[in-house]
Structure 1
């Protein structure tokens, strides 16, 4: 997450985790949303980078979008693992 700082990263992580929770129709707590959102910030650039879709600029909105995509992918993969 370029250009958002520590507090911004926490806010982005919480929002990304919450959005991913709603999109994937799951129910988690605040701490789980934070963890999923922050891990999504690690997974998102890998997914978007492999597809050559990374935005050039950093900041709050691109970071939120990338983190949310990563969090959704993470929740999807965890759902597959839980079913197996």
Structure 2
């Protein structure tokens, strides 16, 4: 996926995760969460279950992967913050 498409899809996935998890983050954090979330999703689910988000350009697979991964990251951040 190209950088511009990754930023757009990552931002959208991060924003969706932010709305779903009722979190308050900025635009840059949404983009980061979406992109890193897609990487986390592909690592966890690709390694464990053999599921990968496929596509060479904007695809619903990357959006879903970014959304799920971003939700996982938000959950982990909340869990760590709650312990300290």
Task: Provide the TM-score with structure 2 as the length reference.
Answer: 0.85
Counterpart of 1:48? 45
Gaps of 5+ in 2: none
> Which one of the candidate residues 17, 28, 31 is aligned to 2:25?
28
Whether the 8 Å contact between 1:17 and 1:37 is mirrored in structure 2 is yes
Gaps of 5+ in 1: none
Provide the aligned length of Structure 1 versus Structure 2.
80
Task: Give 1:6 deviation, angstroms.
Answer: 1.1
Task: Give 1:32 deviation, angstroms.
Answer: 1.1
* Secondary structure of 1:80 counterpart: helix
In 2: Cα distance, 1:9 partner to 1:76 partner: 22
* Secondary structure of 1:25 counterpart: coil
Task: State how 1:1-84 maps to structure 2 within 5 Å.
Answer: 4-49=1-46, 50-55=48-53, 57-58=54-55, 59=57, 60-84=59-83
In 1: Cα distance, 2:39 partner to 2:16 partner: 16
RMSD over aligned Cα atoms: 1.4
